Structure formats: C-alpha cells, structure tokens
Chains A and B, each alone.
Chain A
C-alpha cells in the first residue's frame, strides 16, 4: 500500500506543477505583444528586459551599425513528420513570422522566439504553449547552451579537484584548497545538521551537485557578455526541474515515519479528511516554494539591473549614466551575494526536506 501511494502522489504533484507552469506561461505573452505594438521605434525597457529574461534560439552578441550579430544555435523540432534540425540562422533574425523555413515538407516560422507551423497560424498570432500550432521543441536554446557551458566549467573544476586529492594526501593545495571549504561547508553546515550523521552521506553528491550547479549558473547569469549573461536560474522551467529532483528524492527517501505522519497524522480520526489532504499538499508546497524562490530572486535581480541600465535610454541623456552605473554596480554586488545565498538556500531546504523524510520517529 505504501509502495504504490508515493507513485500516485508523485504523479499528482507533477501534474499540479505543470498546470501552474502552463498558466503562467500562457498569460505572459499577451502583455509582450501589447507593449511591442506601441513601441515600434521608441525604446521600450520592458521589451529589452523581456527579451533578456526569456530564452532564445540564438545567442545575441552585439549590434554594429544597426546590424545585429548573433551566434546561431541548433533548432531541434519533433514535428508530425519526425525530427527536424537546422540552425537558427536560417530565420535571418526574423521574429515576426515573415521568414518561412521549409524542412521535410513542413513550413516553419518564428514568432517571438517560438517556432510554429507556418500554415497553422493566422495573422501572426500564436500562443507559445499551444501545441496544436507548433511542434515540440527540443532545441539547444541560449539557456541550454549556457547550462552546457556551466556543466563543462564545473566538470573541469571538480575533476581537477579530485585529481589533486589523488596526487596529494596532505593539506589541500591549489584549486582543492579553494573548493574544499565549500564542499566541507555543504557537508558540515548543510547536510549533517539537517539530515543527520547516520544518513547524510547518501545525499551528499546530490546536495553538492545542486549547490554548485545553481551557484555557477547564478554567477554566469551576472556576467554581462557572451558566452555568459543567460538568465538560466531565473527561468521557471529550469527551477521546476531542480525542485522536482528534490521532491522526487524526498518522496522516495521517505521512511515509514514520514508516510505515517502524512497518511496517519497523530490527530483524531475524524480530522483525517482535512489533515491528510493538507499533509499531501504540504509535500508539494515545499518544492513549489523552492522553485518559485530561486526563479523569482534571480529573475528579479536581472530585471532590476536591466531597468537601471534602461534609465539612461528612457531619459535619453548620458547624464543619468553615473547614477544608473553606480546603482548597477551596487546591485551587481548584491546579486553576487544573492547568487551564493540562493544556491545555499536551495541546498539547505533540499537537505531539510530530505532530513524530514529520513528522520526517525520522535513522537
């Protein structure tokens, strides 16, 4: 009985999370359309910010003499006729559905960085999440590219650290000396106090992975030039996946006390119809909060910095730049703190939830 219940709960949780994500996705694009129409030539801070915050099929490098230069990224579509792949440069920077790319007898257009079937949409209007008018998209987007970059960096750093331990049995040297305090911090201040000495070792690889993965991606997002600057950790789809991992690990690590507490809480039986659903919702709200917290913090940081930069263009005077520059520097410093802090909070709360799931009965 206990074996099948977690599975159902997991499915339910995933379904619920997806509903939320879809709602928020489908609401947003309309706002964007509206703002874009008003400001054809005029500078629009919200356009700039939205464009930066969102994912993209190409990595914008710079503008030169009114020409935009970007690094094209591969587009991978799962269409009605199977997999279709081509480079995003085939759209020639078009984002309004004007350039049609024909592959495998199908026509594709790009509108606001989403790729649609050209013959299924009308007058340039399409919902980003309307899967009847667009193929499933598994492209290597800007955010995926940035994520790959971060993984390569982390891989290089930590294999170097591991190697240095192989060569040196004494005090840590070089990069190991730099990374070891962080690793010990995750172990001694996050894992052991929250999960307990008995069980913590099993979860250390996950906590370390998630801590460094989030941290480096937060930092990469703060560097304002290619190949960095992508707003990966401020994307809710990304934080959704990470929070789901924590949720799955928590759920599958749950011992009998954990499940007993949820399904048979220590209250009078008459209260079960209220308490059990509340406990089950409680299981889901924890990772949900993880997802929102990371996404909102990082996205907000990017929005604030870009807004401050936009002030110069809104006031159309370079005289604002010292003030706006000073604020940007201040915010960037703050965001560097937030980058580490949010990685810490995510890891800490993951450890806390896992710790609750594996804790021995203390009633």
Chain B
C-alpha cells in the first residue's frame, strides 16, 4: 500500500471532524434530539390524559347508568301507582253503578208491586161493586124465593173470573 502524506489526512480529518461535530451539535443534534424528546413527552402526556379522560368517561357512564336505572325504577313505581289508582277508580265506579242500578231495580220492583196491589185492590173493589150490582139485580129479580136467590148468586159468581 502506498501511503500518501498521512500527516495531511490526520490533520484534515481532525479539523474537519471537529468542525463537523461542533457545527452539527449546535445546528442539528441538539435541536433534533430536543424536538424528539419534547414530542415524546407530549405524546406521553397526551396518552396519560387520554387514559384519564377514558377513566372519567367510564365514571360518567356509570353515573349515567345509575341515574337511568333510578329514573326507570321511579317510572315503574309511578306506572304501578297509576295503575292501582285506575283500578281502584274503575272498581269504585263499577260498585257505584251496581249499587245505583240495583237500587233502581229495587225501586222499580217496589213500584210494580205497589201498582199490582193497587190494581188488585181496584179489581177487588170493582168485583165487589159488580157483585153488589149483581146482587141488587138478583135480589131485585129473584128475591121472590129463597132457593132461587141463592142459585142466581152462585151462578153469577161462577161467571166472574178473578184477576
């Protein structure tokens, strides 16, 4: 191997490498490494806060669910109450109606009975009057003989139908 001026290469390598090193240290390595580090830190921060937010969300969700559950329970209770009230109202109304109707029926029956009694009394009165008038006629015609009188009264009574 032919060595050409090794002192030249040693000299220039030293100078050039040192210049290169100090220049790049200031202009490239430090800014780059700092930027990378800052970005890594910010990414880590972001991940951490995202995790935090996720946990918070989870808490919030649990809260929401609890509230929802409570609301649902409340609604169910309200529905149940309402149903009870409705049932009660309906049964009350039904009872009332029944009472009213039975009362009306009772009254109607009573009235019918009364009317019937009145009719019967009227009828009896008329029968009595009729009987009296017949009796008058019979008496008038047949009072001549006692047996005749009795026979006429008996026949007449047979002809009249009660009711």
Contact = CB atoms under 8 A, between A and B. Distances in A.
Interface stretch (B7-15, B55-63, B122-130): B7-15
Sort chain B's interface into a size bin: 20 to 34
Interface in A216-260: 235, 237-238, 240-242, 245
Given A54-B3, A166-B31, A184-B36, A209 B24 contact: yes
Sort chain A's interface into a size bin: 35 or more
Contacts of B21: 205-206, 209
Interface in A88-142: 112-115, 128-129, 136-141
Chain A CB count within 10 A is highest, among B2, B11, B20, B38, for: B2
Nearest to A25: B3
B74 to A, nearest CB: 49
B13 A241 contact: yes
B48 interface: no
Contacts of A162: 27-28, 31-32, 35
A187 interface: yes
B3 A29 contact: yes
Contacts of A55: 3-5, 8-9
Interface string B28-67: 1111110110110010000000000000000000000000
B23 A155 contact: yes
Contact of A136 (B7, B13, B29): B7
Interface stretch (A143-151, A309-317, A332-340, A343-351): A143-151
A8 to B, nearest CB: 21
B6 interface: yes
Chain B CB count within 10 A is highest, among A54, A159, A187, A237, for: A237
B1 A183 contact: no
A209 B1 contact: no
A21 B7 CA distance: 11
A204 B7 contact: no
Contacts of B20: 151, 154-155, 209, 213
B99 interface: no
Nearest to B23: A155
A351 to B, nearest CB: 15
B143 interface: no
A208 B36 CA distance: 14
B16 interface: yes
B6 A144 contact: no
Given A209-B21, A241-B17, A128 B3 contact: yes
Contacts of B27: 155, 158-159, 162
Contacts of B38: 169
B75 interface: no
Contacts of A240: 10
A50 B3 CA distance: 10
Nearest to B33: A204
Nearest to B38: A169
A360 interface: no
B33 A183 contact: yes
B6 A237 contact: yes
B115 to A, nearest CB: 106
Contact of A137 (B5, B14, B16, B17): B5
Interface of B: 1-14, 16-17, 19-21, 23-25, 27-33, 35-36, 38-39, 42
Given A112-B2, A155-B20, A213-B17, 16 more contacts: A28-B3, A29-B3, A32-B2, A57-B4, A113-B2, A128-B2, A138-B7, A138-B8, A139-B5, A144-B13, A151-B20, A155-B24, A161-B28, A204-B29, A240-B10, A242-B13
